[in-house]
Amino acid sequence: MPQLTLLCLPYSGASAMVYSRWRRKLPQWLTLQPVELPGRGARYGESLHTDMRRLALQLAHEQKATLKTPYALFGHSMGALLACEMAHALRALGCPEPVVLFASGTAAPTLRADYDRGFAQPRSDAELIEQLRTLNGTSEEILANEELMSLTLPVLRADFLLCGRFTPIQRPLLKCPVHVLGGKADRATTEQLIGWSQETLGSFSVDMLAGGHFFIHEQEARVLRVIKDQLEVHHRRHSVAAVG
């Protein structure tokens, strides 16, 4: 049976392993492939990046070697920007575009001036911890753990710079469908989410889910259902083509 590969890009400060639990909750025809970034997880010894396009191109080169099936890209927050840049980088390397680009929990590339205000310069440890507290995704027990924070904060600092120093550029638009997920209580506005429609000549759709910035965990079953529903049509199409 033809497979679809789902490449998942992590949010700021996280390892791609935040998606690993999805593997057992997706249909068999959908292969989950978390994309680990340099400087975390199994790639902890590698240098952290602060240039979004250079990172996307490096990841595209790495993925191209094994990307043999139709694929989709999913990214949450910083990962959404990175997923979009990877789609462009893979296309530039001669790969087909993703069957769907999922952009979750962040403002569109062209509407980030207010969203990323103040993130272009390195943040202090105290500022980073306060930002984590604001996002409601980290317990106070973890925030008070100095050893754990000493490992997390350098990654988070670099990731905030990745977003804060990102600037959109003129280039041919993507042609693939773009589907956006947003949290109803998140800080990304409706206008900032709909702005993702300007990234493609293909179809565009939005799902708003209950919850704040980490709605992808709070509403995990709903998020996975959206992904499955969006990709099922492409899976059927490839299955029919394979039989024909």
> For 99-113, how does the pLDDT look when each residue is reduced to its tens digit (9 = 90+)?
999 999 999 999 998
- Which position among 12, 15, 47, 77 bears the catalytic label? 77
Q: Topology of 4-243 in CATH?
A: Rossmann fold (3.40.50)
User: pLDDT tens digits for 84-135?
Assistant: 999 999 999 999 999 999 999 999 999 998 887 777 777 777 787 787 777 6
Give the global pTM: 0.91
Nearest one of 10, 12, 8 to 160, comparing CA atoms: 12
Residues composing the chain: 244
Domain boundaries along the sequence of the chain: 4-243
- Does the annotation mark 77 as catalytic? yes
Q: What is the spatial order of strands in the sheet that 101-104 belongs to? A: 30-34, 4-9, 71-76, 101-104, 178-183, 204-209
CA 242 to chain CA centroid, nearest Å: 30
